[in-house]
Copies of this chain bind each other. A is one copy, B any other.
Amino acid sequence: MIRLTRQTDYGVLLLTVIASHPGRGHTARELAESTRISQAMVSKVLKLLAQAGLLQSQLGVKGGYSLARPAEDVTVREIVDVLEGPIAITVCSDGNGSCEQEGRCPVEANWRTINQAIHGALEAITLADMAAPCPVTLSGSVAKLGALQGSRTGATEPSA
């Protein structure tokens, strides 16, 4: 159902929690408690995020995880990219010739467009937006999103 995996879901949630209490380290155990996700799972996800450079990890007894970059700098798309792999809504749109129809397939280009739109939607929302208590603080971000789509339009004639 065009669903992203639970891992990604967890990842965003965890990052959001971390972003809400910046400046200090968070241990996997602590995060597991506050999110009610199993500790093993939390570790797994945090590790991936750390490998991807979204989190900094500190080894040792006083260790833990903290954001590697300011929350405003991290887009949801990046997080999804890390935990979900590259975003490609169809085999067509992943770019490498995995689709045997490639080239002659009439819908290819249009899938790509849809793909970009989704990309844009995810890119427009940052971790800071996510961590904000108030639901829709996307004013700025949505502007960005609009701009992105506008740029793809090119001509403005509503031709059929």
A13 CB–B CB distance under 8 Å: yes
Contact A146 B143 (CB under 8 A): no
CB distance from A107 to the nearest CB of B (A): 5
Mask: chain A, 79-111; 1 = CB below 8 Å from B; 0 = not: 010001111111110100000110001110111
**Neighbour of A101 across the interface among B13, B149, B152, B156, CB < 8 A:** B13
Give the number of copies in the complex: 2
Partner of A106, one of B16, B76, B85, B159: B16
A88 touches B135 (CB 8 A): no
Inter-chain CA distance A43–B137, complex, in Å, is 46
B145 and A131 contacting across the interface, CB-CB below 8 Å: no
- Partner among B20, B88, B110 whose Cβ is within 8 Å of the Cβ of A3: B88
Chain B nearest Cβ from A116, distance in angstroms: 9
Q: Name 10 extra pairs, CB < 8 A, besides A12-B111, A113-B136, A142-B153.
A: A2-B2, A2-B87, A2-B118, A16-B107, A72-B160, A137-B159, A138-B152, A139-B154, A139-B155, A145-B149
